[in-house]
């Protein structure tokens, strides 16, 4: 949970200092760097959540691909697309990978017999936030590099709405009690067992 | 404004973007709803299973309590109906007036009282033996089963034989008693209901398992019948077998022989070392 809390702080600080940074650095670098930091934190959180070694391995492998492409893009100025102001490839790849990890996490939860109601866990709400946010912004990120300024203004609303939803789910997760134990009704049915 | 963008024929990107986003969101929400409902369904199923298991345990417990009560009542009846009158009669022979009687009558009365007391001792011994057979206590399961089967064969109504293939080391006394009681109950059932002409018992071991198998040529039950009887309120003896075997982490299988001529009952038990491990796990 500390990872997500740390992400929230970084996200908040980036939003606050965006206008200040925009005057000194290109939009492309701000978005690219934020994408890398965001992916790193989310991937770390998911890595800690996974119990199956195979899933951890998949995450590590995909992360290698992501970091390779993201850093290449960052140092290569997006292959000449710096002017677009957004690193579409890294952001789309990030969205795609996090969606895959979220599905793997949910699959793991279904398979685990010790997990009773999935929504009793804090992690579920965090993953739900990732899942909803990246599903709704995947197409936006794919096309973002081709937007004109006018289009960017119109469509970026999707990102804002998704971001609000993501933060609501994060808040639900933070507001949940630390050890919200799954209430297995059998215990209340048979108090003597 | 969004609708305007979508309906603008020149804007293919916006169409793909909006439908793509809506499609992805629908898929995501659908997947999450499916997971939640699937999980709830699985949990409900698990709960139903647990409830059934709990009911089954309750049934077994009730059966074992009823059996215990019946056993107590039987002992109480034996003591009250047999030992009580015998001792009362002995007391009559040894009444206060005995000293005033002549010597011959005194001796006769004492002799009669001694006879009655001997009978009472024998009766109490029989009751005690039915609680814990001395052969089982002193010589083990194999001898106790052989003894039981010899008695059955001796009655002439049925041919009973047993063969222990691998019983060099005795089990713990309490485990032997449980197994013996299960065998007794099974044999009792065969005698009462099957109309069989023979019973044959074999004992074997394989790896960490200990097997006892009973064959007979009468009418028997299959595993399905056993499960049905266990769930119903009848079949007290079978429930008792089940609860006794549960203590030993054992299993019982009722089946018909391959030739469809004989009925087979197999008791499968784990060896004591394994059983201790299982108990530790619990």
Q: What's the pLDDT tens digit per position in B201-213? A: 999 988 888 899 9
- What are the distances in angstroms from CA B238 to CA A80, B69, B196, B254? 82, 16, 19, 11
Interface with chain B: mutation pick from A88, A102, A115, A131, highest number of B CBs within 10 Å: A131
Written as one string, the DSSP assignment of B23-39 is: HHHHHHHHHHHHHHHHH
The answer, yes or no, to whether residue B9 has pLDDT greater than 50, is no
pLDDT of residue A190: 39
What is the arithmetic mean of pLDDT over B252-267? 86
Strand B159-164 and strand B209-216: the pairing is unpaired
Q: What is the DSSP string of A5-18?
A: HHHHHHHHHHHHHH
Residue B11: which pLDDT band, with cuts at 50, 70 and 90? Answer: low
- Reading the block at residue B190, the tokens are 């065969």
Chain B, nearest residue to A106 by Cα: B35
Q: pLDDT tens across B109-160, in order?
A: 889 889 999 999 988 888 887 778 888 888 889 999 998 899 888 888 789 9
Asked if pLDDT for residue A97 goes beyond 90, the answer is yes
| pLDDT at res. A101 | 92
> How many other CB atoms are found less than 10 A from the CB of residue A104?
20
Give the least confident one: A15-19, B20-24, B171-175.
Answer: A15-19
ipTM of the complex: 0.78
Q: Which of B4, B30, B6 is nearest to B18 (CA)?
A: B6
Contact by Cβ (8 Å): B267, B182? yes
Residue B36 has pLDDT above 80, yes or no: yes
Which residues lie closer than 8 Å to B228 by C-beta, 6 or more apart? none
* Residue A34, pLDDT above cutoff 70: yes
Question: Contact at 8 Å (CB) between A159 and B55?
Answer: no
- Which carries the bigger pLDDT value, residue A76 or residue A72? A72
pLDDT at B14 over 90: no
Model confidence at A185: pLDDT above 50: no
Gap from B33 CA to chain A (nearest CA, Å): 11
Q: Could you report the per-residue pLDDT of A111-150, keeping only the tens digit for each?
A: 877 777 778 888 889 999 989 999 998 888 888 877 777 8
- The mean pLDDT of chain A is 81
- Is the pLDDT score of A75 beyond 50? yes
CA distance B239 to B220: 16
Mean pLDDT across the stretch A21-27? 74
> Mean pLDDT across chain B, nearest whole number?
84
The C-alpha atoms of residue B275 and residue B282 are separated, in whole angstroms, by: 11
When CB atoms are compared, the residue of B1, B25, B32 closest to A128 is B32
Give the confidence band of A99 by pLDDT, cuts at 50, 70, 90. very high
Which chain B residues have any C-beta within 8 angstroms of a chain A C-beta? 1-2, 5, 13-14, 16-17, 20-21, 24-25, 27-29, 31-32, 35-36, 38-40, 42-43, 47, 50-51, 54
**Mean pLDDT throughout A27-32?**
80
Q: Is the pLDDT of residue A84 over 70?
A: no
- Tell me if the pTM is above 0.80: no
pLDDT of residue B6 exceeding 70, the answer is no
B36–A118: do the CB atoms touch at under 8 Å? yes
């Amino acid at each position: 949970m500390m990872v997500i809390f740390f992400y929230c702080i970084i996200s908040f600080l980036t939003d606050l200092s965006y206008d200040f940074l925009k005057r000194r650095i290109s939009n492309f670098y701000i978005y690219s760097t934020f994408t890398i930091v965001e992916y790193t934190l989310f991937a770390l959180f998911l890595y800690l959540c996974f119990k199956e070694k195979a899933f951890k391995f998949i995450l590590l492998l995909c992360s290698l691909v992501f970091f390779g492409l993201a850093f290449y893009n960052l140092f290569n100025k997006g292959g000449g697309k710096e002017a677009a102001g957004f690193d579409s490839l890294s952001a789309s790849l990030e969205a795609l990978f996090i969606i895959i990890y979220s599905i793997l996490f949910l699959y793991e939860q279904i398979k685990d017999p010790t997990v009773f109601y999935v929504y009793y866990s804090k992690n579920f709400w965090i993953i739900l936030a990732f899942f909803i946010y990246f599903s709704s912004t995947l197409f936006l990120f794919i096309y973002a590099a081709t937007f004109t300024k006018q289009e960017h203004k119109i469509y970026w609303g999707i990102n804002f709405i998704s971001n609000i939803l993501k933060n609501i789910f994060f808040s639900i997760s933070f507001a949940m009690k630390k050890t919200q134990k799954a209430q297995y009704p059998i215990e209340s049915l048979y108090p003597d067992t | 404004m969004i609708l305007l963008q979508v309906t603008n024929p020149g804007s293919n990107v916006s169409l793909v973007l909006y439908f793509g986003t809506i499609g992805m969101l629908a898929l995501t929400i659908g997947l999450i709803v499916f997971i939640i409902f699937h999980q709830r369904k699985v949990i409900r199923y698990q709960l139903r299973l647990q409830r059934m298991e709990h009911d089954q345990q309750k049934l077994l417990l009730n059966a074992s309590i009823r059996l215990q009560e019946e056993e107590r009542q039987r002992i109480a009846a034996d003591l009250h109906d047999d030992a009580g009158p015998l001792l009362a009669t002995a007391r009559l022979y040894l009444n206060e007036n005995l000293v005033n009687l002549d010597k011959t009558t005194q001796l006769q009365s004492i002799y009669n009282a001694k006879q009655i007391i001997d009978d009472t001792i024998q009766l109490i011994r029989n009751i005690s033996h039915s609680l814990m057979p001395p052969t089982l206590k002193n010589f083990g399961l194999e001898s106790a089963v052989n003894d039981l089967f010899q008695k059955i064969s001796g009655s002439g109504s049925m041919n009973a034989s047993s063969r222990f293939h691998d019983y060099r080391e005795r089990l713990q006394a309490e485990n032997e008693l449980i197994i013996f009681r299960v065998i007794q109950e099974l044999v009792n059932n065969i005698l009462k209901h099957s109309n069989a002409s023979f019973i044959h018992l074999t004992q074997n071991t394989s790896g960490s398992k200990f097997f006892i198998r009973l064959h007979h040529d009468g009418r028997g039950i299959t595993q399905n019948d056993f499960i049905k009887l266990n769930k119903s309120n009848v079949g007290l003896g079978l429930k008792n077998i089940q609860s006794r075997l549960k203590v030993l982490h054992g299993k019982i299988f009722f089946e018909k022989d391959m030739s469809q001529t004989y009925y087979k009952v197999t008791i499968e038990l784990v060896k004591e070392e394994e059983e201790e491990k299982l108990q530790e796990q619990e």
